[in-house]
Chains A and B, each alone.
Chain A
Amino acid sequence: AQTVTQSQPEMSVQEAETVTLSCTYDTSESDYYLFWYKQPPSRQMILVIRQEAYKQQNATENRFSVNFQKAAKSFSLKISDSQLGDAAMYFCAYRSLRGGGSNYKLTFGKGTLLTVNP
């Protein structure tokens, strides 16, 4: 079974600075998908960025980018020019590429609570 580990329960960053949230995962599969979701105090789960494992290029979405290291099974999220609205719980998630039953689910890490200081 796949597992996702987020080793930083909490992180803080100054407004306008850069922060990196770490995520590692364990899998025996070679193809899969990885996601970062954001959960602000409103509780809404919002997709931040996603990465297909077969793509070597790191995904970017505006101020958000990932450092995907397939061999190390690492998928960190970098937030540049941090804004107060970035304050939230961030979840890393894994999804198998293989079809069938439970493979379609997202497996989440335990989350990292990001605080942005003005």
Chain B
Amino acid sequence: DTAVSQTPKYLVTQMGNDKSIKCEQNLGHDTMYWYKQDSKKFLKIMFSYNNKELIINETVPNRFSPKSPDKAHLNLHINSLELGDSAVYFCASSRGLAGVETQYFGPGTRLLVL
């Protein structure tokens, strides 16, 4: 029983392409997140949705667009991919926003832009 799943696990693509990463959680959580982990392992928040509403939008290029069709899904679409987008992207979810809500992470998607 995978709690937070991401597809694909690996993505190799050329510069300039458009790609999407999908995330699904079966925990019944209201809040979902996207984090980026760079080559030095540094993890940084990108976006967060609560009940399909965008609540966190850090300084991220416009080429990145999250989409939440329902509470269980948060997809990340990236336009015009650049070399610097190569990283591991993690999806996470939490029951809600308030309190010490633990964030549960997906397995990550390793994106390599050539």
* Interface core residue of A43, A46, A50 (most chain B CB under 10 Å): A43
Nearest CB of A to B25, in Å? 14
With A44-B108, A99-B98 known as contacts, the answer to whether A105 contacts B90 (CB < 8 A) is no
Q: Which of A45, A47, A89 contacts B90 (CB 8 A)?
A: A45
Q: Which residues of B contact A108 (CB under 8 A)?
A: 42-44
What CA separation (Å) do A45 and B109 show in the bound complex? 12
* A75 interface contact, C-beta 8 A: no
Q: Which residues of B contact A47 (CB under 8 A)?
A: 102-104
- Which residues in window 60-114 of A have CB below 8 A to B? 89, 91, 95, 99, 101-102, 104-108, 110-111
Q: Mark A30-62, 1 if CB is under 8 A from B, else 0.
A: 000101010100111111001010000000000
* B45 interface contact, C-beta 8 A: yes
Q: Which residues of A contact B92 (CB under 8 A)?
A: 45
Nearest CB of A to B12, in Å? 16
Contact B97 A99 (CB under 8 A): yes
Contact B103 A33 (CB under 8 A): no
Q: Which residues of A contact B68 (CB under 8 A)?
A: none
Contact B33 A105 (CB under 8 A): yes
Nearest CB of B to A46, in Å? 8
Contact B56 A89 (CB under 8 A): no
What CA separation (Å) do A41 and B103 show in the bound complex? 20
What CA separation (Å) do A45 and B93 show in the bound complex? 12
Nearest CB of A to B112, in Å? 14
Contact B31 A104 (CB under 8 A): yes
Nearest CB of B to A81, in Å? 24
What CA separation (Å) do A23 and B89 show in the bound complex? 24
Residue of B nearest to A33 (CB): B100
Contact A50 B105 (CB under 8 A): no
Q: Which of B40, B102, B105 contacts A44 (CB 8 A)?
A: B105
B interface vs A, CB < 8 Å?
Answer: 31, 33, 35, 40-45, 48, 50, 55-56, 58, 88, 90, 92, 97-98, 100, 102-105, 107-108, 110
